Amino acid sequence: MFERRSRGGLRMRVQAAQAHYRAALGRAQQARLSLRYAVLTLALALATGPAAAEVVATPDGFTITHTRSVQASPAAAWTALTAWGSWWSDGHSWSGKAANISLDSVAEGCLCERWAAGEVAHGRVLMVMPGKRLLIDAPLGPLQALPVVARLAFTLKPAGRGTTVTIEMRVAGTAANGLGGPVDGVLREAADRLARRIDTGRP
């Protein structure tokens, strides 16, 4: 009788210990899942945050940034970039044909549009680092008639077998207040067209 009771008590203690272990294991697994969820949430926030804030207001203007990943090398991306008229939109030209726009990719070179009825200097090259960086003094479109300073930068960085292309426009001058949205629309389209031109040969 005593032996059966002892065995019964031992069995109950073993079962209780097993239940406690399973509960502890469950809590540990839940903690790991919670940690993984927190890390994933943070990663998603970091990944999507900057993309949602492509127009950033500054005390005297705004900054716009667009980044695209392409499959080509920086050298090939540079070749497409500097063939400006091959990827810029006809809708953002004075003549109605982006093919009339050309870039002289040297310091002090002109980003110019020339056609039978006239000529427009859209920008002036400030820095050229082939395959890496292009900086232009470029008060495009409505900015040209305003007392503002506009810098348009293209940065190319190797990324695996491809390239990361970053386009940044910095505008300083309160006269440009309210134009961040329209300018962003132009640059967003330009970034998409340039990326397609680099990867497919067509914008």
Average pLDDT over residues 156-169: 97
* Of 200 and 30, the one with more pLDDT: 200
Of the candidates 170, 114, 167, 176, the one whose C-alpha atom is nearest the C-alpha of residue 144 is 176
* Of 31 and 168, the one with more pLDDT: 168
Helix ranges (H only) for 63-167 are 74-82
Average pLDDT over residues 60-66: 96
pLDDT of residue 54: 85
Q: Residue 151 pairs with which residues in a beta bridge? A: 137, 170
Q: Name the DSSP class of 58.
A: E
pLDDT of residue 39: 38
Residues 6+ apart with CB under 8 A from 94: 113, 115, 118, 120
> Model confidence over 10-24: pLDDT tens digits?
455 546 655 655 565
For the cut 50, the answer to whether the pLDDT of residue 27 exceeds it is yes
Max CA distance (Å), the chain:
114
Average pLDDT over residues 114-137: 98
Q: Does domain 53-200 have CATH number 3.40.50.720?
A: no
Q: How far apart are the first and last CA of the chain?
A: 90
Using an 8 Å Cβ cutoff, are 69 and 189 in contact? no
Q: Can you read off the two tokens belonging to residue 105?
A: 């990719």
Neighbours of 174 (CB within 10 A): 12
For the cut 90, the answer to whether the pLDDT of residue 29 exceeds it is no
Q: What is the mean pLDDT of the chain?
A: 83
pLDDT of residue 16: 60
For the cut 70, the answer to whether the pLDDT of residue 182 exceeds it is yes
